[in-house]
Amino acid sequence: MQLWFVDDARQQTPTRQGMGPLRAAGAICVSEANLKSFEDALDALCRTVGFPDRQEFKWSPGRELWMRDHLTGQARTEFFLTAVTIARDHDICGALAVVDTDHTVIAGAGNHETSVVRLLLERIQNATSMEEYALFIADTPSGGSRQNSDAFISDCPETMCTGTNALSPLNRIAMVLTCSSHLNRCLQFADLFTSCLTAFVSGENRWSPSVARELRGLLRAELGRVGGCGVKIHPDYVYANLYHWLFGDDTFVRSYCAHPMPILTRSYKTSVEAYCSAPAPRKKGS
């Protein structure tokens, strides 16, 4: 059984030129054999830097969390980098789906939230071998309300049975569960993974790049590329070149054809265009 810990993220005002508000969902895969050791190692890291008992870590902690005021600046970055190293040592891999809400939803989805969940489920299905099943464990989405939580996962059972426009059915995903992130270090790392990479995609270039560069090593890859496998940015007819500039891909694969990157007929064809965003200011204490 593969255990996929899932979280969502939003970027309402991306600083990357031409990019609209983003919805994202990301997941990290933890094997049964490594689950306890990974949780224990993350817990030990939190104790080492002074977290109170049962306090969670997050990429952007709220005012109620200890780390907002007591783990800041470079010390917070070092904490995140150490957590990524722990994940690498435990063979963690991950996938991220991002949707620009200024564009149309994917085929068969009624809204952007459903689009991003379906795109992530496709990646989990493809990452699960024929001999295994995947268990999907979701955190309460941003906003924390019961309504948001239900909306985030309500489409999953139907999608698992009927499939998506790209895959039918999603028969390797066995079950969808929810759990509060403050009870689970794996879900907390899923927040770090999802929120940092979403910020990186959105153009935030002050805090996310150094951590995102390390998280790239956890992204699922096929034939040396993460675009479409470990990361899906919809619509990729607009954003395909970001797979090259942000994640190091040399080719873009579509309909069994490989296209050298950057693709000169698409947006962000030069590094200047891809990295032209201004840094987003971070609120005091965040």
Determine the pLDDT at residue 155. 60
CA-based nearest residue to 38, from 90, 93, 84 = 90
Give the DSSP per-residue string, 254-286.
Answer: ETTEEEESS-TTSS--SHHHHT-PPPPPPPTT-
Query: Do 58 and 65 form a contact (C-beta atoms < 8 A)?
Result: yes
Looking at the predicted structure, is the pLDDT value of residue 282 above 50? no
Average pLDDT over residues 106-113: 80
Q: Could you state, in order of their start, the residue ranges of all structural domains in the chain?
A: 2-274
Kindly indicate the confidence band of residue 125, based on its pLDDT and cuts at 50, 70 and 90.
confident
How distant is the alpha carbon of residue 190 from its chain centre? Answer: 7
For helices 208-215 and 185-202, what crossing angle results, to 10°?
A: 120
Determine the pLDDT at residue 285. 44
pLDDT in tens, 168-200: 566 777 767 888 898 899 999 999 999 999 999
C-alpha neighbours within 13 Å on the C-beta side of residue 254 = 10
Sign of CA dihedral 113, 116, 119, 123: negative
Name 267's Cβ contacts closer than 8 Å, sequence gap at least 6.
18, 238, 239, 241, 273
Looking at the predicted structure, is the pLDDT value of residue 280 above 50? no
Query: Do 11 and 86 form a contact (C-beta atoms < 8 A)?
Result: no
Determine the pLDDT at residue 284. 42
Asked, as a colleague might, if the bond just before 281 is cis with ω within 30 of 0, I would say no
Report which residue type is found at 99.
V
pLDDT in tens, 199-227: 999 999 999 999 999 999 999 999 889 99
Looking at the predicted structure, is the pLDDT value of residue 39 above 60? yes
Kindly indicate the confidence band of residue 154, based on its pLDDT and cuts at 50, 70 and 90.
low
Determine the pLDDT at residue 13. 95
262 is written with which tokens? Answer: 């950057």
For helices 112-127 and 146-153, what crossing angle results, to 10°?
A: 50
Report which residue type is found at 188.
Q
Kindly indicate the confidence band of residue 9, based on its pLDDT and cuts at 50, 70 and 90.
very high
SS3 119: helix
Find tokens 């997050």 and name the residue: 58
> Cα(33)–Cα(209) distance, rounded to whole angstroms?
31
Average pLDDT over residues 35-41: 97
Looking at the predicted structure, is the pLDDT value of residue 283 above 50? no
